[in-house]
Amino acid sequence: MRAHPAGPRHGEIPVDHTSVVPVDLNDLDPVVWPRGARRTTGAMTLAGNDVRDLAAQYGTPLLAMDEQDFRSRCQDFADAFGAAGDVHYAAKAFLSTHIVNWLAQEGLALDVCSAGELALALRADFPPAKIALHGSNKSQAELEMAVDAGIGAIVVDSYDEIARLAGIAERLHLESGGGNGSARRIPVMIRITVGVEAHTHEFIATAHEDQKFGFSLAGGDAAEGVRRIVACSGLELIGLHSHIGSQIFDPSGFEVSAHRLVGLLKTIIKTHPDLAASITTLDLGGGLGIAYTSTDTPPPVDAMAKSLTEIVERECQAAGLAVPRIAVEPGRAIVGPGTVTLYEVGTIKDVHLDGGVVRKYVSIDGGMSDNIRTALYDADYTAVLASRSSDAPAARCRVVGKHCESGDIVVRDCYLPADIAVGDLIAVAATGAYCYSMASNYNRLPRPPLVAVIDGTSRQLLRRETDDDLMRLETW
Ligand SMILES: *Cc1c(COP(=O)(O)O)cnc(C)c1O
Range of the domain at 413: 17-66+338-466
Q: How many domains does one find in the chain?
A: 2
Tell how far CA 363 is from the center of its chain. 27
Contacts of 372 (CB under 8 A, 6+ apart): 435, 438, 439, 440
Last residue of one domain, picked from the residues 279, 312, 335: 335
Which residue has its alpha carbon closest to ligand 1 atom 2?
A: 286
Q: Each residue of 55-91: pLDDT tens digit? A: 999 999 999 999 999 999 999 999 999 888 999 999 9
Mean pLDDT confidence for 282-309: 95
User: Which residue among 70, 103, 111 has the greatest number of ligand 1 atoms within 8 angstroms of its CB, and so is best to mutate?
Assistant: 111
How confident is the model at residue 13, as a pLDDT? 43
Per-residue pLDDT band at 421 (split at 50, 70, 90): very high
Q: What is the largest CA-CA distance in the chain?
A: 82
Determine the Cα–Cα distance for residues 174 and 168; give it in Å rounded to an integer. Answer: 10
Mark whether 158 and 194 lie in a shared domain.
yes
Residues flagged as binding site for substrate: 332, 373, 377, 405, 434
**Which one from 74, 232, 404, 435 is the annotated catalytic residue?**
404
Residue 210 has pLDDT above 90, yes or no: no
Mark whether 223 and 330 lie in a shared domain.
yes
Mark whether 160 and 277 lie in a shared domain.
yes
Atom of ligand 1 nearest to the CA of 330: 9
CA angle 199, 201, 202 (to 5 degrees): 65
Q: Give the burial class of 381: count Cβ atoms within 10 A of its Cβ; 0-12 exposed, 13-18 middle, 19 or more buried.
A: buried
Determine the Cα–Cα distance for residues 133 and 118; give it in Å rounded to an integer. Answer: 8
361 Cα to the center of ligand 1, angstroms: 33
Last residue of one domain, picked from the residues 335, 353, 375: 335
* 3-state secondary structure string across 161-201: HHHHHHHHHHHHHHHCCCCCCCCCCEEEEEEEECCEEEEEC
Judge whether 75 lies within some domain.
Answer: no
Atom of ligand 1 nearest to the CA of 434: 8
Mark whether 179 and 325 lie in a shared domain.
yes
Residue 267 has pLDDT above 50, yes or no: yes
Judge whether 78 lies within some domain.
Answer: no
Mark whether 427 and 317 lie in a shared domain.
no
User: Which residue among 88, 329, 339 has the greatest number of ligand 1 atoms within 8 angstroms of its CB, and so is best to mutate?
Assistant: 329
Mark whether 267 and 389 lie in a shared domain.
no
Mean pLDDT confidence for 307-319: 94
Q: Cα separations (Å) of 119 from 113, 134, 149?
A: 11, 14, 10
Mark whether 129 and 262 lie in a shared domain.
yes
246 Cα to the center of ligand 1, angstroms: 7
Mean pLDDT confidence for 292-312: 94
Mark whether 345 and 321 lie in a shared domain.
no
How confident is the model at residue 176, as a pLDDT? 85
How confident is the model at residue 10, as a pLDDT? 33
CATH number of the domain within which 49 lies: 2.40.37.10
For this structure, is 404 an active site residue? yes
How confident is the model at residue 18, as a pLDDT? 54
Dihedral pair phi/psi, residue 49, rounded to 5°: -105, 125
Mark whether 100 and 186 lie in a shared domain.
yes
User: Which DSSP symbol is given to 35?
Assistant: T
As a whole-number percent, the residues of the chain with pLDDT over 90 amount to 88
Least confidently predicted of 80-94, 201-215, 339-353, 362-376: 201-215
Judge whether 11 lies within some domain.
Answer: no
Last residue of one domain, picked from the residues 304, 320, 335: 335
Residues flagged as binding site: 287, 329-332, 373, 377, 405, 434
Determine the Cα–Cα distance for residues 339 and 382; give it in Å rounded to an integer. Answer: 12
Q: Each residue of 136-193: pLDDT tens digit? A: 999 999 999 999 999 999 999 999 999 999 999 999 988 888 766 667 899 999 999 9
List all residues whose CB is within 6 A of at least one atom of ligand 1: 90, 92-93, 111, 134, 243, 246, 285-288, 329-333, 433
Residue 198 has pLDDT above 60, yes or no: yes
Judge whether 356 lies within some domain.
Answer: yes
CATH number of the domain within which 243 lies: 3.20.20.10
Judge whether 471 lies within some domain.
Answer: no
How confident is the model at residue 180, as a pLDDT? 64
Mean pLDDT confidence for 376-386: 96
How confident is the model at residue 257, as a pLDDT? 94
How confident is the model at residue 177, as a pLDDT? 83
468 Cα to the center of ligand 1, angstroms: 34
Mark whether 329 and 193 lie in a shared domain.
yes
Residue 407 has pLDDT above 90, yes or no: yes
How confident is the model at residue 451, as a pLDDT? 98
The residue type found at 281 is T
Atom of ligand 1 nearest to the CA of 155: 13
332 Cα to the center of ligand 1, angstroms: 8
How confident is the model at residue 274, as a pLDDT? 92
How confident is the model at residue 106, as a pLDDT? 97
- 10 Å Cβ neighbour count for 248? 27
pTM for the whole thing?
0.94
Residues flagged as binding site for pyridoxal 5'-phosphate: 287, 329-332, 434
Residue 301 has pLDDT above 60, yes or no: yes
As a whole-number percent, the residues of the chain with pLDDT over 70 amount to 95
Judge whether 7 lies within some domain.
Answer: no
242 Cα to the center of ligand 1, angstroms: 10
**pLDDT, the chain, mean:** 93
Q: Cα separations (Å) of 419 from 336, 346, 360, 412, 423?
A: 30, 14, 11, 19, 12
Atom of ligand 1 nearest to the CA of 333: 9
Mean pLDDT confidence for 446-467: 98
Residue 233 has pLDDT above 80, yes or no: yes
Judge whether 12 lies within some domain.
Answer: no
Peptide bond before 61: cis, by omega within 30 degrees of 0? yes
Atom of ligand 1 nearest to the CA of 246: 7
Mark whether 199 and 331 lie in a shared domain.
yes
Residue 265 has pLDDT above 90, yes or no: yes
Mark whether 294 and 359 lie in a shared domain.
no
Residue among 304, 213, 319 at smallest CA distance from 261: 319
288 Cα to the center of ligand 1, angstroms: 9
How confident is the model at residue 409, as a pLDDT? 98
Judge whether 130 lies within some domain.
Answer: yes
